[in-house]
Amino acid sequence: ASASPGVTASGSPSGSAEPEKKPKKTASPTTSAAEAPAPASKTPVRATKKSGGDGSGGNGSSGGGSGPAAGNGSGSGSGSGSGSGSGATGGAEAQVLALVNEERAAAGCSPVTANDRLTRAADDYSDVMASSGVMSHTGPDGSTMASRVEAAGYQWSTLGENIARGQADAASVMDSWMNSPGHRANILNCSFKELGVGVHFGDGGPWWTQDFGTGR
């Protein structure tokens, strides 16, 4: 499974990242009450924070068909403050964190540590996507990756977000993300130091969110 090409933002919501590979499987983000919903794909978004302001990436369309899907984003810049604590302690969330660190170790990156503020933002956003039935980096209320982690109390210098819908377990969603260049780039971004993972198991899902960050 894969996502559509990434979008970056540096003070403005425009820009582009490397194009992603043609997906092995694709699907619409819509769900159906009459049948099991197909997993969907989503565009990566990226956000950058510089002194005096911040930017957030946009969202993109998803393809048609069936199969797992994902969306992602990342960013860099300068900021102040940092979140702290431990999170991603739930079974599936902890498994995703462990798998992320396995991939990072293989790529020569230091591990990310669980952060409870990022975890809160990721958990809450998985619930929001499940409630709305829409997989997007922009929430129904207009929230962005940056605004959500800030609302959870995380002060950041670099952020990244991966989302996905329909993968049954941690191994499946990680396989989906690692087979998409944009999502893989977030997971293997050595500048990220912390991670929050959220998942909502329910209708149209599971709904997955990874929020990567580096605090200041």
Q: What is the pLDDT of residues 168-215, one digit of tens each?
A: 999 999 999 999 999 999 999 999 999 999 999 988 999 999 999 999
Architecture of the domain spanning 46-215:
3-Layer(aba) Sandwich (3.40)
Calpha distance 204→149 (Å, rounded) = 24
The set of residues, in sequence order, having a beta carbon less than 8 Å from that of 21 and lying 6+ positions away, is: 2, 179, 180, 181
* Residue position matching structure tokens 């591990």: 111
Q: Over the stretch 126-147, which tens digit does the pLDDT of each residue have? A: 999 999 999 999 999 999 999 9
Q: Are strands 113-114 and 194-200 parallel, antiparallel or unpaired?
A: parallel
Give pLDDT tens digits for 50-71: 422 222 232 222 223 334 556 5
Q: Copy the structure tokens of residue 135.
A: 């997989």
Rounded CA-CA distance 107/181 in Å is 14
